[in-house]
A = this chain, B = another copy of it.
């Protein structure tokens, strides 16, 4: 199970941070879909490090090689496989991480689960680096969704104590947020970067939130109960390292609302049925209602911080003070923005592939 996702498409992600390569296979994609490799690279670059002071200067070259599934710029019906070679392979000794787990990381849980056999170098299979192949799959799905008029965009909703504006829930400003540090409010973006710089100077890190919107979705997508849009998106978004909360529409605010506030009245607009507000985040009963789908994802602060931390030596069963070496992003949130888009794109494309909507519209009630 583990690193495999999808009901209709089958995404399998592989690789360890310092192994030979990371990559993905994506099975179940129809033939004849165009692939724009340049646009995909632009999308992948949004996830790459080294784009500003807020991210690590470490340079990874995330250029995928497609091994199969694409011919002359179109999907050919066979599974798509792509790999990214790792440059930094096992250059130093990681035995310390096996013995002294970093707080907030998967070092300890991997040690328990895999009995010491895990690849501990750079976090191994648990590294944030594994979001690169997720972005290959998601970047492709995003292109294919765009062919159907479905667009996905996300912005940094908050970092530390600084909050961005929210998307207009009825008409999210997707064109405004396609940058390396995407915020709706330039002031908020500036304040966030300042807060990151400050925290970094103290050898610490910051968490943040990402708001993602999907527009152009038809009504009727999703299945009841466990096949609902929220279930399908949440299960893949929680596959992104460091995510600790996933909310839809009014999200946790809905808990404080009254029905008369939270219920979105149905209205007619240009002959189309819409809702006047969008507390539902475009989803009722797990199924899209034709309004924008809105989700909010909370990301914990980067666990790798420069400060000394308290841990234990597993071999000696004794307390041990730990200082994490290397240069790490003081805040992973900006780079996680395209990853959330990718995850949402994969979940939605999967649901579209399996959608079984009854075409014959018949109003039993009015017969």
Contact = CB atoms under 8 A, between A and B. Distances in A.
Contact of A301 (B112, B225, B254, B302): B254
B363 A99 contact: yes
A80 to B, nearest CB: 7
Contacts of A72: 364
Given A32-B358, A231-B239, A268-B318, A263 B309 contact: yes
Given A4-B27, A244-B250, A101 B266 contact: yes
Contact of A95 (B161, B226, B298, B366): B366
A168 interface: no
A255 to B, nearest CB: 4
Contacts of A223: 1-3, 28
Given A3-B227, A16-B71, A315-B365, 6 more contacts: A1-B7, A14-B80, A109-B284, A246-B246, A252-B296, A262-B300
A266 B101 CA distance: 8
Given A67-B19, A78-B224, A262-B207, A244 B235 contact: no
Interface residues of A, number: 172
A54 interface: no
Contacts of A39: none
Of the candidates A16, A22, A276, A360, the one having the most CB atoms from chain B within 10 angstroms of its own CB is A16
- The quantity of this chain's copies bound in the complex is 4
Interface stretch (A45-53, A146-154, A178-186, A286-294): A286-294
Given A115-B31, A284-B105, A366 B315 contact: yes
Nearest to A351: B1
Contacts of A65: 20
Contacts of A207: 254-258, 262
